Amino acid sequence: MHIVADENIPLLNEFFGEIGEITRVEGRSMSKSDLEGADILLVRSVTKVNRQLLEGTTVRFVGTATIGTDHIDTDYLQEAGIAFASAPGCNAQAVVDYVLSALSVVVDERGVQFSDLSVGIIGVGNVGSLLRARLESMRVTVLAVDPFRDPEEVGELVSLDEALTADVVTLHTPLTKDGEHPTWHLIDAERLAQMKTDACLINSGRGPVVDNQALLAHMRANRNFEAILDVWENEPEVDLDVMHRCLLATPHIAGYSLDGKMRGTEYVYQGLCEFYGLPIRRKLAQFLPEPGVKRVNFSDQVPLNQALRTAIRAAYEIRVDDGVMRTAMKRSDDLRATFDALRKNYPLRRDIPTLRVGVPAKCHDLQDVLAAAGFDVRIK
Ligand SMILES: NC(=O)C1=CN([C@@H]2O[C@H](COP(=O)(O)OP(=O)(O)OC[C@H]3O[C@@H](n4cnc5c(N)ncnc54)[C@H](O)[C@@H]3O)[C@@H](O)[C@H]2O)C=CC1
Ligand SMILES: O=C(O)C(=O)[C@H](O)COP(=O)(O)O
């Protein structure tokens, strides 16, 4: 079989080498001519997979190593009889770590504790529900919204109006343009005006869920309003005015832990094996390396909030990604290329549960809160 794959999918050889011959191509510029003789197409979020790309090709299976599927025309795939697999939940942990690191900056900057914050979570799927569980066990007040979910399954839900009254509002919906509750420009000028004038909006879902021009106008009019953006309208063309006004800005890397990216490959491999009736011979655990940072130890002198911030940032420090992006974009004469290069060359990062945290036996509260945040807590 002939497999055409985005060059930025990790472990291509390891997972798919036995199944077929692999041709690696640049994802954003992929075109029909790259698919000559291909049976299988493996993509990431930057390739638009639709009739224009696939009509007249021999592709019979499409896999995307991502959670989001807004770049895939699934109606066309169905019409054309092309099988499809995505990677639901593959990097949900990484996105949760991103939001926790972002919140650690917000609590520092405001001089408050995590438990002083209320957080509105919009979209309670894989990411939103894991985030909710983490935050509630960290004693943060959560106001969750999801018109498609049953509170019996995902816990208490409130209206969007109510969630927008939170100190922090974080977006975890897919990007949708139709249906009963489309999310395109869900956060527009009107919804921004409903939020507290000193609220913080976090978007690590998809860029166009927020009307970026409305956000810019809102930030100009409300100096205390804060935004933390990982995803942008018109990516990879970032509006620098929006970026400059953000409290934190990152280049669509919220899900970019090594664990999350490799898990995306594994899930697509599993979908492909199922479609072709092949045995599943490869497992992610065979390929994940030892974490670079293995352990952080606390004494009984450390205040709880400080331990939490320190542990979160030992696992993932969002301010480094923010600094690298601002510097690179400021110097850039090609914003699109710079944005993509930041993503392609993203440094190694591991999920929070890979980090062991040593806590004295008598510090029960600290043990509970760090375990709730997802750390591998060890009594020392
Ligand atoms: N920045 C990044 O690196 C990453 C971004 N993402 C984005 O995050 C999104 C969410 O990821 P998951 O939680 O895994 O997806 P999911 O599909 O498990 O959950 C999404 C939830 O949003 C809800 N929803 C849909 N429309 C809504 C609306 N109008 N209002 C409120 N809720 C609504 C759905 O009912 C669902 O429960 C993905 O679709 C993807 O676009 C995902 C991974 C990494
Ligand atoms: O999984 C998703 O959905 C994401 O947003 C991915 O983290 C995006 O990564 P790329 O596919 O754009 O490399």
Whether the CB-CB separation of 228 and 247 falls below 8 Å is answered with yes
Given the residues 71, 132, 134, 252, the one annotated as active site: 252
Q: Tell me if residue 226 falls in helix, strand or coil.
A: strand
pLDDT tens track for 78-127 = 999 999 999 999 999 999 999 999 999 999 999 999 999 999 999 999 99
206 is an active site residue: yes
Beta pairing partners, 169: 120, 201
pTM confidence score: 0.98
235 is an active site residue: yes
Residue 147 Cβ < 6 Å to ligand 1? yes
> Which atom number of ligand 2 is nearest to the Cα of residue 264?
1
At 380, the pLDDT band (50, 70, 90 cuts) reads confident
Query: How far, in Å, CA of 370 to CA of 257, rounded?
Result: 20
Of 255, 238, 226, 233, the closest CA to residue 87 belongs to 255
Whether the CB-CB separation of 342 and 322 falls below 8 Å is answered with no
Given the residues 132, 134, 191, 206, the one annotated as active site: 206
The pLDDT, as a whole number, for residue 311 is 97
Q: Which ligand is nearest to the CA of 261?
A: 2
In this prediction, the answer to ipTM > 0.90 reads yes
At 137, the pLDDT band (50, 70, 90 cuts) reads very high
> Which atom number of ligand 1 is nearest to the Cα of residue 95?
44
Query: How far, in Å, CA of 284 to CA of 158, rounded?
Result: 38
Measure 71 CA to ligand 2 centroid, in angstroms. 10
Whether the CB-CB separation of 66 and 85 falls below 8 Å is answered with no
Query: How far, in Å, CA of 367 to CA of 29, rounded?
Result: 48
The pLDDT, as a whole number, for residue 181 is 98
Given the residues 218, 235, 263, 313, the one annotated as active site: 235
Q: Is position 129 annotated in a ligand binding site?
A: no
Residue 206 Cβ < 6 Å to ligand 1? yes
152 is an active site residue: no
pLDDT tens track for 15-61 = 999 999 999 999 999 999 999 999 999 999 999 999 999 999 999 99
Beta pairing partners, 296: 357
Query: How far, in Å, CA of 325 to CA of 253, rounded?
Result: 11
Residue 91 Cβ < 6 Å to ligand 2? yes
pLDDT tens track for 288-309 = 999 999 899 999 999 999 999 9
Q: Does the pLDDT value for residue 194 go beyond 90? A: yes
Q: Tell me if residue 4 falls in helix, strand or coil.
A: strand
At 155, the pLDDT band (50, 70, 90 cuts) reads very high
Residue 123 Cβ < 6 Å to ligand 1? yes
Q: What is the DSSP letter of 290?
A: P
pLDDT, greater one: 292 or 277: 277
pLDDT tens track for 305-333 = 999 999 999 999 999 999 999 999 999 99
How does the average pLDDT of the chain come out, rounded? 97
Q: Which of 91, 93, 173, 256 to mutate to test the pocket of ligand 2 (most atoms within 8 A of CB)?
A: 91
Whether the CB-CB separation of 293 and 358 falls below 8 Å is answered with no
Do the strands 376-379 and 356-359 form a parallel or antiparallel pair, or are they unpaired?
parallel
Q: Which of 66, 131, 172, 187 to mutate to test the pocket of ligand 1 (most atoms within 8 A of CB)?
A: 172
Residue 46 Cβ < 6 Å to ligand 2? yes
